[in-house]
A = this chain, B = another copy of it.
Amino acid sequence: MIEEKNDEVQYDEAFLRMLLDEENIESFREHFLVLHPYDQAQFYEEVGPDIRQIIYRYLSPQEMAIIFETTEIEDDEYKTYLDEMDPSYGAAMFGFMYTDNAVDILNELDTEQRENYLEMMDEETVDEINELLGYEEYTAGAIMTTEYVSVVESATVREAMRVLRQEAQTAETIYYIFVVDQAHRLLGVMSLRELIVAEGDLYIRDIMSERVVSVKVTDDQENVANLIKDYDLLAIPVVNENRELQGIITVDDIIDVIEEEAEDDYSKLAGIADMDDNDAGPLRAAGKRLPWLIILLFLGMLTSGLMGIFEATLDKVALLATFIPLISGTSGNSGTQALAVAVRGIATGDIGGKSKFRLIVRELSTGLIMGIVSGAIVVGIIFFWKGTLMIGLLVGAAICCSIIVATLAGSFIPILMHKLGVDPAVASGPFITTLNDVTSIIIYLGLATTFISRIL
């Protein structure tokens, strides 16, 4: 039976719940364990703590391990789920996970809880986990897995196939075989595709590819993602400073990284702390958005305060006030455009070291073009609409200057932050917009105050 899948649920939730209700363990296991782990995990998350208690009784820690590492539980909720389980059941479950997944989850727990689990696990697993726990978050070391297939260069194709069959059960991927020397230094790579068409008695060192793309344990995960994407890899080996093979990172984990990083940039452009709140209640959603909103509120107050300086000018020509939203809006829009280009350029590695200066010059010219075009349009509209050339020229000049400044600020600030080692996406859209509000209004009302005698 083929299922054509789409985003809808792929399993019969009511039926599975019924089997659990009836305590029909045999039938539940039969129908549940054939499901794809993703579907098992969806069911597991859906049913609530009471029914999960039954699941823990019906499934072995090994069966539970696959489900638990596949769930899309929010980072801060792992503790809640783990607290439902018997600690020894949980510890056994961690032992059956791929090391990278176990480490990801253990990283979300507090030190005491983590230590408790580690005490109950066997020494070898603990060593592996502790090694990975030592790497900084968002580095290759932190996201790599240690379950990979490696052979020494002196092996034959036949021997390599034998290793591969043995490791097929536990390795995270068997489609790349990494070739090492006696000291476990990475020498090359072979794909399973190449291996299965090769003669059995050839030596691996004679047929392996020596041009293996690898990363260091300390490399940033975004860098790893760019390499896997550019080189269309299914996995990438991770080495330490002595070129000893430490682990691999597979493409399915990298897809999550790519999504995470894109989501992160997107959230920050929108001024939200973090995006995953479609299922959250309004209180939680408001909690994620209010911090930014309130910071920006204070920045906005600053704008109001600055405008107070020009109250006398506004008092004389009330018409001036009606163009404030136009000017601040346009400056905000052009700043956000420049910001987005710069942030994505940095994220995808398109903006290299030497091209930063060129980008600034490019943005300055772009701002100049956009400023002149937009300014001219505004002068025209206001002249024909209100019949006043002076105010048209004033607003046009303000818009032209604002666009140039906003475009420059939008590209310069993220590049500067990147240089300083700060995530450029932190210079979020609303922040840049509010900043540009202030500058554009100062430009506008400053010009207006200077030339007030000609306007009146």
Contacts from A to B (Cβ < 8 Å) = 1-8, 34-36, 38, 161, 164-165, 168-169, 174-175, 185-188, 192-193, 196-197, 210-216, 219, 223, 226-232, 234, 239, 243, 251-252, 254-256, 258-259, 262-263, 265-267, 269-272, 275, 277-279, 281-283, 285-286, 289-290, 292-294, 296-297, 300-301, 303-305, 307-308, 311, 314-315, 318-319, 321-326, 328-330, 332-334, 336-337, 339-341, 344-345, 349-352, 355, 359, 362-363, 365-366, 368-370, 373-374, 377-378, 381, 385, 399, 403, 429-430, 433-434, 437, 441
Contacts and interface: CB of A to CB of B under 8 A. Distances in A.
A413 to B, nearest CB: 14
Contacts of A385: 301, 305
Contacts of A355: 278
B186 A2 contact: yes
A241 to B, nearest CB: 10
9 contacts: A2-B239, A175-B192, A272-B340, A281-B362, A293-B333, A314-B322, A321-B324, A328-B329, A332-B433
Contacts of A272: 337, 340-341
B325 A4 contact: no
B269 A340 contact: yes
A333 B378 CA distance: 25
B349 A7 contact: yes
A380 to B, nearest CB: 11
A278 B318 contact: no
A8 B213 CA distance: 12
A155 B164 CA distance: 24
A219 B283 CA distance: 36
Contacts of A277: 341
A322 B307 contact: yes
Contacts of A345: 278
A356 B377 CA distance: 41
Contacts of A322: 304-305, 307-308, 311, 314
Nearest to A222: B7
A418 to B, nearest CB: 13
B330 A296 contact: yes
B332 A294 contact: no
A234 B251 contact: yes
B344 A325 contact: no
A81 to B, nearest CB: 19
Contacts of A269: 266, 269-270, 340, 429
Contact of A164 (B196, B239, B251, B323): B196
A161 to B, nearest CB: 8
Given A36-B231, A311-B322, A340-B270, A362 B282 contact: yes
A329 B266 contact: no
Given A36-B231, A168-B196, A304-B323, A351 B278 contact: yes
B381 A301 contact: yes
Given A5-B215, A213-B36, A370-B289, A326 B340 contact: no
5 smallest A-B Cβ distances: which pairs?
A: A270-B340, A282-B365, A262-B262, A300-B326, A321-B321
A377 B301 CA distance: 11
A329 B296 contact: yes
A1 B192 CA distance: 21
Nearest to A223: B6
A248 B165 CA distance: 26
Contact of A318 (B318, B362, B434): B318
Given A230-B38, A252-B232, A275-B341, A437 B325 contact: yes
